[in-house]
């Protein structure tokens, strides 16, 4: 690396650095300590044989599966930040220096493949989180773990704070922080390419295709046509597409029937972990946390959509204006904070839904749901049907609705309440350690900021490589707003950390 390159890299590093205050340092240290404790207590639980996977196999299998799941989740989450942020950038700028990134982009940005990837990826996230839950969630809450008090076990194991902390920090936020600034370097590997192909295969399977029916219904309801980069489907392609939609509706209906039947009959893990909770309340909690997930998924779409509008056009009601005033306070300083708090709340809800939908039926005792085979019952006990329901009804549907009706989400009083909760969770610093680990990961992997390779948006424009214009209408019926849309490749306004204002970073650049 030449002296000029070293100086340029150093200036970009300085632009992304934030001032380390005593309070911020305390949050970093406390979060890392909490992360270490969470890992220890969850691993200790696994080696008691008191989780579904460790009981069915052995603790080492559960630990290895959980570790691999967290590693893969980190790629799934980080890759989204890269692939959603790179479309405006001319790929010729990184074609020669990052050939595998170029391969990822060539596949993901062809036609409507980015939406296909995001739909498949959404199911992968839920599936992986459910796997982590089966590996690290207790079957019997009364089993001793390291001699810890019942209150500590309740919070960290039964409620799942331990799994939430290490899943958010290790499996999501650390790579999201790096990938939001190092998009080009982050996916320049075959692990990322494999993950992209896997997500595309998941979408092609048709399990999630009922989401496309919802997409078309919302398009008609909003009066906004879906923007597509492909020709209308016809002939065999048309029949094959709608055939998978019907198959997906059948799968979704079966999954809902299984879940509701088990909940009303007290045959889920809810009756084991919380035996005093009535079955009817369990059904209510199932739909309640699905709605919470849906609101948070839709809110990020709506927030990024209105961020592109003039300030006077944001919010048309009392709560809409209060939401915008809080979210875009200063220079949008609370938007990254919302993303962090949202992540904690969503993962917490995912784990709860996983516990609610996980079945507690022993195969071979004549109680198999709907009289299915013992093998099918053993599979359903892992709760993966809950991942299908949550992906379609609590995630993709709400994201599509928010892309069609962003103002409706913005003006909803629940949106303001959830925003306040998300910002409070970020303020607590529970996941502040993610920035420490992100810095370590960046050093170890040698990740460079995007502007080192392609310059800032202003530099690209000056060099006749201006970013493609993306209008708000292009968000309608699409999931691309669900990542980090609005954070431009090579800019300094993504997940730098709990900064006071983007102005401070720009002044340092």
Tell me if 476 sits within 8 A of 219, measured CB to CB: yes
Strand partners, 156: none
Q: Which of helix, strand or coil describes residue 479? A: coil
Rounded distance between C-alpha atoms, residue 34 and residue 146, angstroms: 16
CA distances (Å), 158 to each of 131, 136, 191, 428, 436, in order? 16, 10, 33, 21, 28
- Alpha-carbon distance of 126 to 147, in angstroms, equals 32
User: Any idea what the Cα angle at residue 429 is, between residues 427 and 432, rounded to 5°?
Assistant: 125
Write down how long the chain is: 509
pLDDT for 491: 52
First-to-last CA distance in the chain?
Answer: 21
CA distance 296 to 349: 10
- pLDDT of 484 reads 38
Give, for all 509 residues of the chain, the pLDDT tens digit: 455 455 455 555 555 556 778 888 898 999 999 999 999 999 999 999 999 899 989 999 999 999 999 999 999 999 988 888 888 888 888 999 999 999 999 999 898 898 899 899 999 999 999 899 889 888 887 888 888 898 888 888 888 888 899 899 999 888 988 888 888 999 999 999 999 999 999 999 999 999 999 888 888 887 777 777 788 888 999 999 999 999 999 999 999 999 999 899 888 888 877 788 888 888 999 999 899 989 988 888 887 777 666 666 666 778 878 888 887 776 556 777 787 888 888 888 888 888 888 888 888 887 888 888 888 888 888 888 888 999 999 888 888 888 778 888 888 899 999 989 988 988 888 888 888 898 899 999 998 888 888 887 777 777 777 767 665 555 444 555 443 344 455 455 444 443 333 333 334 33
Classify 364 in phi/psi space as left (phi over 0), alpha (psi -120 to 50) or beta.
left
Instruction: Name the one residue in this structure whose structure tokens are 């079966």.
Output: 254
SS3 106: helix
Residue whose pair of structure tokens reads 């006077």 in the numeric block: 312
Q: Which helix (H) or strand (E) holds 257?
A: helix 235-264
How high is the pLDDT of residue 477? 44
Tell whether the torsion through CA atoms of 395, 354, 43 and 275 is positive or negative: positive
How high is the pLDDT of residue 188?
94
């Amino acid at each position: 690396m030449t002296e000029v390159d070293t100086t340029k890299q150093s200036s970009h590093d300085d632009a992304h650095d934030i001032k380390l205050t005593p309070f911020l340092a305390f949050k970093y240290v406390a979060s890392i300590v909490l992360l270490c404790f969470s890992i220890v207590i969850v691993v200790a639980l696994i080696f008691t044989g008191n989780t579904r996977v460790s009981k069915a196999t052995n603790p080492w299998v559960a630990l290895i599966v959980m570790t691999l799941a967290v590693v893969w989740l980190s790629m799934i989450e980080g890759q989204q930040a890269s692939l959603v942020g790179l479309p405006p950038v001319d790929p010729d700028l990184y074609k020669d220096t990052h050939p595998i990134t170029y391969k990822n982009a060539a596949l993901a940005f062809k036609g409507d493949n980015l939406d296909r990837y995001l739909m498949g990826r959404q199911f992968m996230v839920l599936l992986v989180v459910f796997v982590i839950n089966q590996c690290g969630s207790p079957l019997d809450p009364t089993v001793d773990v390291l001699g810890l008090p019942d209150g500590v076990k309740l919070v960290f194991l039964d409620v799942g704070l331990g799994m939430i902390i290490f899943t958010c920090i290790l499996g999501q936020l650390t790579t999201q922080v790096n990938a939001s600034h190092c998009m080009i370097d982050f996916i320049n590997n075959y692990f990322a390419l494999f993950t992209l192909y896997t997500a595309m295969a998941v979408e092609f399977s048709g399990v999630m295709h009922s989401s496309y029916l919802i997409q078309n219904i919302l398009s008609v309801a909003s009066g906004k046509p879906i923007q597509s980069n492909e020709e209308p489907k016809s002939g065999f392609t048309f029949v094959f597409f709608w055939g998978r939609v019907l198959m997906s509706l059948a799968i979704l209906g079966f999954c809902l029937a299984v879940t509701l039947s088990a909940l009303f009959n007290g045959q889920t893990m809810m009756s084991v972990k919380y035996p005093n909770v009535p079955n009817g309340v369990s059904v209510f909690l199932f739909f309640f946390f699905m709605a919470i997930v849906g609101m948070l998924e839709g809110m990020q779409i709506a927030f990024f959509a209105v961020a592109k509008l003039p300030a006077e056009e944001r919010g048309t009601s009392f709560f809409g204006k209060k939401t915008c005033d809080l979210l875009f306070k200063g220079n949008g300083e609370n938007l990254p904070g919302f993303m962090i708090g949202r992540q904690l709340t969503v993962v917490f809800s995912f784990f709860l839904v996983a516990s609610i939908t996980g079945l507690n039926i022993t195969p071979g005792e004549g109680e198999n749901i709907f009289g299915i085979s013992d093998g099918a019952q053993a599979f359903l006990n892992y709760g993966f049907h809950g991942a299908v329901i949550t992906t379609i009804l609590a995630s993709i549907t709400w994201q599509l609705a928010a892309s069609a009706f962003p103002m409706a989400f913005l003006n909803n009083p629940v949106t303001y309440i959830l925003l306040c909760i998300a910002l409070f969770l970020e303020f607590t610093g529970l996941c502040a350690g993610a920035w420490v680990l992100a810095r370590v990961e960046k050093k170890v992997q040698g990740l460079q900021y995007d502007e080192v390779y392609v310059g800032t948006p202003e530099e690209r424009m000056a060099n006749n490589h201006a970013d493609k214009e993306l209008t708000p209408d292009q968000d309608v019926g699409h999931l691309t707003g669900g990542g980090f849309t609005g954070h431009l490749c090579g800019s300094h306004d993504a997940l730098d950390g709990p900064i006071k204002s983007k102005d401070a970073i720009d002044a340092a650049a």
